[in-house]
Amino acid sequence: MALKDYFKNYPNEKGYFGEFGGSFIPPVLEEEMNRINEAYYSISKSHKFISELRSIRKHFQGRPTPVYYCNRLSEKYGGRIYLKREDLNHSGAHKLNHCMGEALLAKYMGKKKLIAETGAGQHGVALATAAAYFGLECEIHMGEVDIAKQQPNVLRMKILGATIVPVTHGLKTLKEAVDSAFQAYLKDPVNTIYCIGSVVGPHPFPMMVRDFQRVVGIEARDQFQEMTGELPDNVVACVGGGSNAMGIFSAFLDDPDTKLHGVEPAGRGIDKVGEHAATLSLGKPGIIHGFKCYLLQDEKGEPAPVYSIASGLDYPGVGPEHSMLKDMAKAEYHYIDDQECIDSFFELSRLEGIIPALESAHAVAYAVKLAKANPKQSILVNLSGRGDKDLDYILENYGFPEDKK
């Protein structure tokens, strides 16, 4: 299917990607989502919106981000490993791509306040950045466990003028933060807008966030072709909710010779519920936060507890589009555990001078496995973010590799 037709068909007008997605929400929220959906179609396709967003991407975000060939990593493991450097996007991760889009839409809709959840704090920082840029209020809901783990990002959000709402129930991580942010949004859906942090949630969010992230894939495909004269054999991205992966995958969906690989966190091991977040590998279809997707579930069918060393990946659901791509066999999904992630974190830092986010280190670790198995192939990794936010946590809990010997 040509790319243009793919985007026309997925999602359909009810927000479905095959059997996944849709919107399973109370009627008040449904009305609001319809309003956002209509605004998205009428506003975001206008020449004014497109040219304003284009200018923001260039002058504020610093796009296009480069594609970089990893000399030493490729030499060590074989294969040809390239990175799409989303760590160089302003505020340090791919998330600003959709936050600037969502906030610009909010401004056009006359909203006063942006509300969101955050896990690693990256979405919160990106949204607080966007709110400051547009002069909008910003309220970020964050689990207490993540607040303790991600102090630098908490401080950044406050410096940028956002209000932090600590979430103290359940596991006090990402899922509970989403619940809490939804509640706050429902209290005043007219003046506020809920800015989801990934390609998840009820229609139209999975579509909107994907569309705002498409810039990553469009740039990367062109850049890779310009550098090598061909398309990559493999594209690799980590998958939490799936926004950075959808961003880069979306440009290659009509390229049958390019394989797409999503990488989920195996945490401390995939044998036990609560120790990982390998949703597409081990979940079953279910409903979470107003949409249908592969879902890690307990015996009662409720979302299961999840864990990963990377706070941005520990979500029991996953984007509906990834759920569909898995069933269509358009993309494959794999997992990488905490230790493999840490090893890759240090290796990329020391071989290439690039300190990756723990989330992105999952993608690098899988790319290295692919390179070892396929030394003749090229691999384009979406390096979704930089690792500055993770340094304290890693050094306190793991230390330097040489100290272990």
Ligand X SMILES: *Cc1c(COP(=O)(O)O)cnc(C)c1O
Beta bridge partners of 192: 113
Q: Identify the residue among 11, 360, 361, 364 touching ligand X (CB under 6 A).
A: 360
**In the structure encoding, which two tokens stand for residue 116, read together?**
């969101």
Q: Would you count residue 244 as binding ligand X (CB under 6 A)? A: yes
Q: Would you count residue 129 as binding ligand X (CB under 6 A)? A: no
| Residue 236 Cβ vs ligand X, minimum distance, rounded to whole Å | 13
**Residue whose structure tokens are 């932090």:** 164
| Full DSSP string of 198-233 | SS-SSTTHHHHHHHHHHHHHHHHHHHHHHHHSS--S
Q: Which is nearer to ligand X, 91 or 223 (CB)?
A: 91
Beta bridge partners of 356: 386
Q: Would you count residue 385 as binding ligand X (CB under 6 A)? A: yes
- C-alpha dihedral sign at 316, 363, 1, 64: positive
Point out which span in 19-27, 137-145, 241-249, 391-399 binds ligand X (CB under 6 A). Answer: 241-249
282 closest CA partner among 243, 245, 252, 326: 326
| Residue 394 Cβ vs ligand X, minimum distance, rounded to whole Å | 14
Helices (H), 94-143: 95-108, 122-134
| Residue 283 Cβ vs ligand X, minimum distance, rounded to whole Å | 15
Q: Would you count residue 101 as binding ligand X (CB under 6 A)? A: no
Q: Identify the residue among 23, 89, 192, 243 touching ligand X (CB under 6 A).
A: 243
Nearest residue by C-beta to ligand X? 385
Q: Would you count residue 217 as binding ligand X (CB under 6 A)? A: no
Hey, what amino acid is at 236? V
Say if CB 66 and CB 380 are below 8 A apart. no
All residues at 6 or more sequence positions from 175 whose CB lies less than 8 Å from its CB, including other chains: 288, 303, 306, 315, 316
Q: Identify the residue among 124, 202, 217, 241 touching ligand X (CB under 6 A).
A: 241
Q: Would you count residue 106 as binding ligand X (CB under 6 A)? A: no
* Catalytic residue check, 70: yes
Q: Identify the residue among 95, 107, 149, 175 touching ligand X (CB under 6 A).
A: 95
Number of residues that bind ligand X (CB under 6 A): 21
Hey, what amino acid is at 242? G
Q: Identify the residue among 61, 65, 122, 378 touching ligand X (CB under 6 A).
A: 122
All residues at 6 or more sequence positions from 69 whose CB lies less than 8 Å from its CB, including other chains: 80, 81, 82, 227
What residues from 135 to 194 belong to the interface with ligand X (CB under 6 A)? Answer: none
Segment (H or E) for 379: strand 378-383
Give me the catalytic one of 47, 59, 90, 94.
Answer: 94
Residues forming the active site: 70, 94
- Binding footprint of ligand X on the chain (CB under 6 A): 93, 95, 120, 122-123, 198, 238-245, 312-313, 357, 359-360, 384-385
